[in-house]
């Protein structure tokens, strides 16, 4: 196992919360249901988070009116994007990578609750 994994303990705690939600809910719900459950699990497990934080975007140094809004920002460093789809696509991965690039955060977790028989998760790095 890689001993130099970026935000190892924090990301394990986040994924553990996702497993807890999936254990209770399984698959088949809307993303918004999983988001609410995960918020409750983060609170229960004392994972520091911001839900739907507005992340500023810039173009050539100018602040844009548009912004990114990932599902969660945990531990002030880890973007968590939720999906409830049969399969994660490159577009989903690109969404998280864009969040990372525009915020200078280093780690994004893409979590898919729509997969059966278990929750899927991917670590994406900037």
User: Phi and psi of 64, rounded to 5°?
Assistant: -90, 155
What pLDDT, on a 0 to 100 scale, did the predictor assign at position 70? 95
Residue 83 lies in a domain: yes
What pLDDT, on a 0 to 100 scale, did the predictor assign at position 4? 75
Burial class of 36 by CB neighbour count within 10 A (0 to 12, 13 to 18, 19+): middle
The answer to whether the beta carbons of residues 70 and 99 sit under 8 Å apart is yes
Question: Domain total for the chain?
Answer: 1
Residue 46 lies in a domain: yes
Residue 18 lies in a domain: yes
Residue 1 lies in a domain: no
What pLDDT, on a 0 to 100 scale, did the predictor assign at position 3? 56
Residue 62 lies in a domain: yes
List the one residue out of 83, 84, 103, 9 whose CA is nearest residue 47: 9
What pLDDT, on a 0 to 100 scale, did the predictor assign at position 97? 95
pTM for the full model? 0.92
The length of the chain is 126
* Pairing between β-strand 78-83 and β-strand 107-112 as defined by DSSP bridges: parallel
What pLDDT, on a 0 to 100 scale, did the predictor assign at position 1? 46
Mean pLDDT by 10 residues, the chain (126 residues): 79 98 95 98 98 91 92 97 96 95 91 94 96
Report the CATH number at residue 27: 3.90.320.10
What pLDDT, on a 0 to 100 scale, did the predictor assign at position 2? 52
Residue 97 lies in a domain: yes
What pLDDT, on a 0 to 100 scale, did the predictor assign at position 113? 97
What pLDDT, on a 0 to 100 scale, did the predictor assign at position 107? 97
Residue 110 lies in a domain: yes
Parent domain of 61 = 8-125
Sign of the four-CA dihedral 34, 37, 40, 45 = negative
Q: Where are the beta strands (DSSP E) in 5-71?
A: 49-51, 55-59, 62-68
């Amino acid at each position: 196992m890689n001993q130099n994994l970026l935000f190892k303990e924090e990301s394990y705690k986040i994924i553990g919360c996702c497993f807890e939600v999936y254990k209770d809910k399984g698959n088949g719900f809307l993303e918004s249901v999983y988001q609410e459950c995960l918020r409750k699990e983060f609170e229960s497990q004392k994972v520091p988070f911001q839900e739907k934080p507005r992340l500023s975007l810039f173009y050539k140094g100018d602040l844009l009116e548009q912004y990114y809004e990932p599902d969660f920002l945990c531990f002030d460093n880890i973007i968590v994007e939720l999906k409830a789809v049969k399969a994660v696509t490159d577009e989903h991965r690109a969404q998280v990578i864009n969040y990372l690039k525009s915020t200078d955060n280093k780690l994004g977790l893409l979590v898919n609750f729509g997969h059966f028989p278990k929750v899927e998760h991917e670590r994406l790095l900037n």
